[in-house]
Structure 1
Amino acid sequence: MARTSRLLTLLQILRGKHLPATAASLAAELEVSERTLYRDIAELVAQGAPIYGEAGVGYVLRPGLFLPPLMLSADETEAIVLGLRYVDQRGDPVLSQAAHDALAKIEAVLPPAMRETAQNPVAHPGPPLRRYPDEPVELKAYRSAIRAQAKLRITYRDLAGQPSSRVVWPIALGFMEEVRMLAAWCELRQDFRHFRTDRIATAEETGERYPGYRSALVKAWRSARLHRDDR
């Protein structure tokens, strides 16, 4: 394995470790000597990687924004470009702009060969879908509430157009083929519900923060979906 590839692989291994990894275990994964491993660690630290090591304990990669050059393979570049172009086509204006900006930033730091892959990829998303139904509330309002764990009071119209008032705990946005959905815990139903965003007539924060952690709610929501699929 070339040294550049080995350094990137070492970073990926450290990113995936939740506990300190010893030099011996890292060297074994990379199939190199411990001496080579020490040199590679020293090189990454010199380049700015937030790696912390302690004798007898091991190495950990601290949280940080260390992005070494040549960090993407051709296949990884293809995957990211395909995903961003898909979002650019199907996202709301905020996500479409974010995808466009992210792709420009990635292309700016890629080496020439990888930049050519990004600009002329092998894989392309299909043609843009027809326009989503009109949404009375902009999606940025839901994003803001989700990130703040803020309760929302919504007015929701059912299939027959009958309105109902709900207080919900928003946790995620879903982008389906023909509609967008707000996933939330519904205080009225005492269960997770999916609300079509084109049927939400109004949405206002109540001023209350819902209890617990959003991550725990998302985990419970996914589990509930799996159990429903199993039935």
Structure 2
Amino acid sequence: MRPADRLFRIIQLMRSSGRAMTAAEIAEKMEVAPRTIYRDMEHLMASGAPIEGERGVGYMLREAFDAPPLTFTFEQLEALAFGLRAVEMLGDPKLGKSAREARDKMLDILPEDHRQRLVGAPIHAFRSASQPPTESLSEIRRAIGEARKIWIAYHSLDGERSQRVILPVALCAFGTIWLVTAWCEMRDDFRDFRVDRIEDWQMLSDRFTLEPHQAYEVYLQRLQKG
């Protein structure tokens, strides 16, 4: 867990407890050593967080402090929770972990009645055991964010094998199938590639700048026109 995330979780833990907590108690919840919590408390108090206490005694959050309220209806919160659950199930391990952490943060700051309703809501997302996310998914996400070219060895549905350099512009999930939309240098046009059919890949050092006709919006316009 990143230090910034841990500080946020400490505040939420102390707020929900409503009492003084020792560094050992907090450390157990955060799965870190007590000395780490001592440093975190010093940082929080120096940053102006309304925490009272000291080493060997315990720490308590003053009642005046509270997180800003979320102005979402329950149905909106349910939609967010379901979306995060779907990302957790369908995304790659890094994206899934981030979705779980985001969901935990959301639950931490909700009123108790909303939190219990969301935890028990009969709405779920599942992943097929036969089609887990491939390792290349997180690398493709990174390549899109960094505008990096990717070399791929691809096996199409009709049995054709090819090696290409692509400029990835978007990822899209259809059920358990992920597609990467890219500008293919070999075809000099847009192509969709199933991520689970990429047999090998390598992120290249080459970065790219899309020409106007290579923009993802142009691809979407083509789809709308049929």
TM-score above 0.5, yes or no = yes
Letter aligned with residue 208 of structure 2: Y
Q: Which amino acid aligns with 2:92?
A: D
Counterparts of residues 5-16 of structure 1 (less than 5 Å)? none
* Cα distance, 1:130 vs structure 2: 4.1
- Find 1:149's aligned residue among 137, 147, 152: 147
Q: How does 1:101-120 map to 2 (within 5 A)?
A: 101-120=101-120
Please name the residue that 1:186 is paired with.
184
The one-character-per-residue Cα deviations of 1:54-105 (angstroms, maximum 9, x if unpaired) are xxxxxxxxxxxxx831322211111111111222222222222122111100
CA distance in 2, matches of 1:133, 1:73: 33
Report if aligned partners of 1:145, 1:151 keep a CA contact under 8 Å in 2.
yes
Structure 1 vs Structure 2: percent identity of aligned residues?
31
Q: How does 1:63-212 map to 2 (within 5 A)?
A: 68-121=68-121, 123-125=122-124, 127-132=126-131, 135=134, 137-212=135-210
Question: Can you give the 5+ residue segments of structure 2 that lack an aligned partner in the other structure?
Answer: 1-66
Please, what is the CA RMSD of the aligned residues? 2.4
Supply the AA of the counterpart residue of 2:118.
Answer: A
Uncovered stretches (5+) of structure 1, i.e. residues with no partner: 1-66
Deviations 1:19-59 (A, max 9, x none): xxxxxxxxxxxxxxxxxxxxxxxxxxxxxxxxxxxxxxxxx
CA contact (8 A) 2:143 2:168 kept: yes
8 Å contact 1:157–1:163 — kept in the other structure? Answer: yes
SS of equivalent residue, structure 1 residue 194:
strand
CA distance in 2, matches of 1:97, 1:112: 24
Deviation at 1:212, TM superposition (A): 3.5
Q: 1:124, CA displacement in angstroms?
A: 0.3
CA contact (8 A) 1:152 1:168 kept: yes
* Equivalent position SS for 2:196: helix
Indicate if the aligned counterparts of 1:70 and 1:111 stay in contact, CA closer than 8 A: no
Change over 3 Å in CA distance of 1:146–1:115 after alignment to 2: same
Q: In structure 2, how many angstroms separate the alpha carbons of the residues matched to 1:126 and 1:152?
A: 30
Distance verdict in 2 for CA 1:104–1:134, change over 3 Å = closer
TM-score using structure 2 length: 0.62
Q: Secondary structure at the match of 1:124?
A: coil
For residue 80 of structure 1, what is the amino acid of its counterpart? L
Once the two structures are overlaid, the 10-residue window that deviates more, 175-184 or 97-106, is 175-184
